[in-house]
Chain A
Amino acid sequence: MSGPERQAPDDKLLEDFLDGRSPASRAWREAMRGESAPPEMEGAVLDMARREIEEAAARPPSRDRFRDRRWPFALAAVLVLSFSTLLTIVQDPAAHKDAMMAAPDAAPAAAVVLPEAAAPVAVEAPPQPAPVREAAPAPKPQAFPARPSSPASAMSAGSADALRDRAAADAPSGPEAAAMAMPAPPPAAPTATEESRQAEPDELKAARRTPEMLQQRAAPPAFAGAAKLEREEAESEAAAATGLERIRRLLAEGHEEQARQALAAWRRQWPERPVPEDLKRLAD
């Protein structure tokens, strides 16, 4: 079916032409025989090429040679910048922590959920004076991704665990731990369950802590910014105490319902913290 005898005439014509067997090709070659570029062109073009080669040879080393040597410079620059950044973080972890908190992804959803998960446990726990770790098992380390206890934890989760363990071993327990001050939690995107807490007093927000966090805060300062952290913790603890005083004042003024609501908010904020004896009747 596809033999040469069945080919369309113009296909045969094209095939012959492509193979150089076409009469058109022969006629063309015959017609063009002896027609060539003017000789004066040759001199001009060859001179141009010769000049270009000579100029290129006389030219000083170009950017291309520099391009070959750029790699070591680039590598050195990257190393120096990385080292200086690391040094800055180690020397001033507080600044690094603030930068991390300012980042939009610094407070993932897990950090927001933390108090919700811890709250029921605290309610069921018996009001012992020092039940921090046993009575209310705090959520696991992922509960604090946005607020590392130290710069090291910001750098690696493994080192964060190590620091936390060390903090747990060294930290005072019970009332001592509760007495430790701590900074306010990181600002997180409000969720549906958290919306109601937006109206809570600042001191109650600041007082919401887990024992795990307490222990972390109790860890001996390993870096230069630890003193600042401790100062913040002390301020937060004072705020928690102020919250309790406010509840007592409401109670004394006869606003029992308001005091009850404030205590409920306080407990949500600080679920592991035992309710003082004098306010326990409001909690029941």
Chain B
Amino acid sequence: MLQYRNGSMAAFETLYRRHKDPLWRYLLRGAEDREACNEMFQDVWASVVRSRTSWEPRARFTTWLYTLAHNRLVDYYRLRTLATAPLEEAEDVAGPEHESPDAAARNAQLRQRLLDTLAQLPHEQREAFLLKEEGGLSLEEIGQATGVGRETVKSRLRYALAKLRQELSDVWP
């Protein structure tokens, strides 16, 4: 990011390629709406571009990026007052093309169950899970991005994991 701040386009491309997929998935699972997700995705990167010259390395770039994304999601929730998305609205995600039909079917089923369970979680718990899984943030960084304390993050993750384990007990011994 420091190189990008000094005007290196190549540095921005590196940043973008490193973070685009996890960030997009975080937004997609947070919003449950592909169109809104695309819009927020562009907004977040536009914020990065706008902040180029004023950026200071106070925290990891990843933490800052997901803080921007979290704030954008909060705005989205406010507009839509999304509590828990109905299962029918969840996006169907196609599996990778190289899998065998059986494996692909199995994985698609597991994926769908996982997404369904995740969609049933309160958005704070879902967000904590996604920030860890997609952003790779630590407890402290999740707390920093979402504006809560470390213990709160732990509590949210405990609830989220307990629910996931309960719903996926056949594949989660």
**Chain A residues near B (Cβ < 8 Å):** 10-11, 13-14, 17-18, 22-25, 27-38, 41-42, 44-46, 48-50, 52-53, 56-57
Contact = CB atoms under 8 A, between A and B. Distances in A.
A35 B42 CA distance: 17
Interface string B93-113: 101110000000001001100
17 contacts: A13-B161, A17-B157, A23-B168, A24-B164, A24-B172, A25-B133, A30-B107, A31-B111, A33-B96, A34-B96, A37-B23, A41-B41, A41-B42, A42-B20, A48-B46, A49-B4, A53-B52
B171 A23 contact: yes
B64 interface: no
B61 interface: no
A53 B157 contact: no
A195 B58 CA distance: 64
B3 to A, nearest CB: 12
A49 B161 CA distance: 38
Q: Is the contact region of chain A dominated by helix, strand, or loop, or is it mixed?
A: helix
B30 to A, nearest CB: 14
Given A17-B132, A37-B24, A53 B7 contact: yes
Contacts, number: 109
A10 B16 contact: no
A130 B110 CA distance: 115
A13 B158 contact: yes
Contacts of B24: 36-38, 41
A27 B46 contact: no
B41 A17 contact: no
Most buried by B among A36, A37, A42, A45: A37
B114 A31 contact: yes
B90 interface: no
